[in-house]
Amino acid sequence: MLRTKWACGVYAAMWLAVGLIASCALSPREDQSRPRFHEAAGADVVLRHFRWDQIHLLQPEYREDGFIIPLSREKLNPAFQALQVRRGLAVVVLNYGYPEPDLRQLIAEWQGILFDHGFKRVVCLEAGEAGRINGLVILEDKVQTSTAPQNNAGS
């Protein structure tokens, strides 16, 4: 009797595992129609936005004693200057889940800040697999069109 209950438990666990594996295999694939980013090697700056007082400068690395130094928007330019960052391509990785109007506002704010700091192009990406930006969904890719002088000093 005990052996029969044990066997039933084993079979139930096996069927559960098979069901989980099958459900993963049959789940819809990612929408490949959305444009993807493939220029990580050319990015002068990669920033990860969590909130306005919690920004991580991932490329070039901005660390102290091995730990990423969180920045606020006011501390971005001093960090750029300390690392002697070129002002070509800036990439900002944003969390997903923002309502569309909030996301558009956030993207516009980032573009304004980074264009004011002299960057020529700003690409905003939707967060994905940690540790890589190639292959992430492009939310917006904008090139600076203004010829007005940029604010490269101070913050």
51, part of any domain? yes
Q: Of 35-39, 84-88, 101-105, 149-153, where does mean pLDDT reach its minimum?
A: 149-153
Per DSSP, the chain holds a count of helices (H) and strands (E) of 3, 7
61, part of any domain? yes
17, part of any domain? no
Query: Half-sphere exposure of 8 toward its Cβ, with a 13 Å CA cutoff?
Result: 5
- Top pLDDT among 153 and 3 is at 3
Segment 45-53 shows an average pLDDT of 96
Segment 116-145 shows an average pLDDT of 93
Instruction: Look over the chain and give the mean of its residue pLDDT values, rounded to a whole number.
Output: 82
103, part of any domain? yes
Contact in structure between 44 and 90 (CB atoms under 8 Å): yes
Which contacts (CB < 8 Å, 24+ apart) does range 98-105 have? Answer: 103/139
pTM, 2 dp: 0.74
- pLDDT, position 124: 98
Domain containing 45 equals 40-143
CA distance 151 to 155: 8
Number of structural domains found in the chain: 1
